[in-house]
Chains A and B, each alone.
Chain A
Amino acid sequence: SEFSSVYPPSEDTFLLLDCLEEHFTARDNINPPPLVSLEIGSGSGVISTFVRNICPQTFCLAVDINKQAAQASKETALLNKQEVDVVCSDLGLGLSGLFNKVDLLIFNPPYVPTESEEVASSGIEASWAGGIDGREVIDKFLPTAAKF
């Protein structure tokens, strides 16, 4: 299939969706809606699509290193009639113009402990391979997260 290398929505996806829904639809939520949302590793695209659905005034950008996943993200948004722009990128490289401009940063990272070598992939392994202690991608991204 066209999207065979894309991580399908799974338990961790749903957990993140629940958190986002709780955060943005809580009755006592007094925060203004985020202006800019950036999702790293959007995979199937359900999370950014969902964010756009519950925050229709938010500019939603999704990135993925896997080209099939980037395409899937675009498709998912389109099928759900939600506006999500997508960039094929490694952890947001190429989007440094968004530093200090992101209100909502989302990442369901690969976290499965694997060999280090498995981390450098742009296929489906990129969705789970977390390297040593499952931390390599997370630790690599954290400084950039702070910049966004």
Chain B
Amino acid sequence: MKLLTHNMMKSHCKGVVNGFPLKLSSTQVDVKEIEFNPDFINRMLSRLEWPVLVQIANQLGVGEGLPEMLPEEQKFEDEDVLKKIHHVLLEVEVVEGELECPETGRKFPISRGIPDMRLNEDE
């Protein structure tokens, strides 16, 4: 599960009002090199919940150098900054771990890189 994916995930437990962000605990995190594309990162910025990305990145110890906030134009010229964002969004993968609904505490396992978001019928 890439951190970009985590940024798009919300709990759908019955009765949940917000469900975002899902809490993350991880036992195995991999890092792999992905081709950098500055345009992709800049185009993606406006679709992100930025504070949550920063929070999760810091939690995993990969958030160094990430700007606290996005500039108003939601774009960066500085390639070093873009590369740091690229790294956090796409190069960090949670392989084994768990997501947790912030309201119900319901756990969703992450195994072999794949989060399992399926609920039982009564949930």
CB-CB under 8 A for A96 and B10, given A57-B37, A87-B114, A89-B117: yes
- Out of B7, B40, B117, which one reaches A88, CB within 8 Å? B117
Count of inter-chain pairs, beta carbons less than 8 A: 77
Task: Specify which of A57, A65, A67, A85 is in contact with B2 (CB 8 Å cutoff).
Answer: A85
Q: Using a Cβ–Cβ cut-off of 8 Å, how many residues does chain B contribute to the interface with A?
A: 30
Partner of B5, one of A71, A85, A90, A93: A85
Say yes or no: A35-B47 contact (C-beta < 8 A), given A96-B10, A122-B118. yes
Q: Across the interface, do A94 and B117 meet the contact criterion of CB distance under 8 Å?
A: yes
Instruction: State the majority secondary structure of interface residues on B.
Output: loop
Q: Number of contacting residues on A, CB 8 A?
A: 26
Q: Does chain B have a CB within 8 A of A59?
A: yes
Q: Would you mind naming 12 contact pairs between A and B with Cβ atoms under 8 Å apart?
A: A36-B47, A59-B44, A67-B114, A70-B114, A70-B116, A87-B1, A87-B117, A90-B119, A94-B11, A94-B12, A97-B9, A97-B20
User: A: which residues have CB within 8 A of B?
Assistant: 35-36, 56-57, 59, 61, 65, 67, 70-71, 74, 83, 85-90, 93-98, 101, 122
Q: Which residues of A contact B117 (CB under 8 A)?
A: 87-90, 93-95
Cα–Cα distance between A96 and B101 once the two chains are bound (Å): 14
B60: A residues at CB distance < 8 A: none
Contact A90–B47 (Cβ < 8 Å) = no
CB distance B115 to A87 under 8 Å? yes
Cα distance A59–B35 in the bound complex, in angstroms: 12
B113 with A35: CB separation less than 8 A: no
| B82 smallest CB distance to A (angstroms) | 14
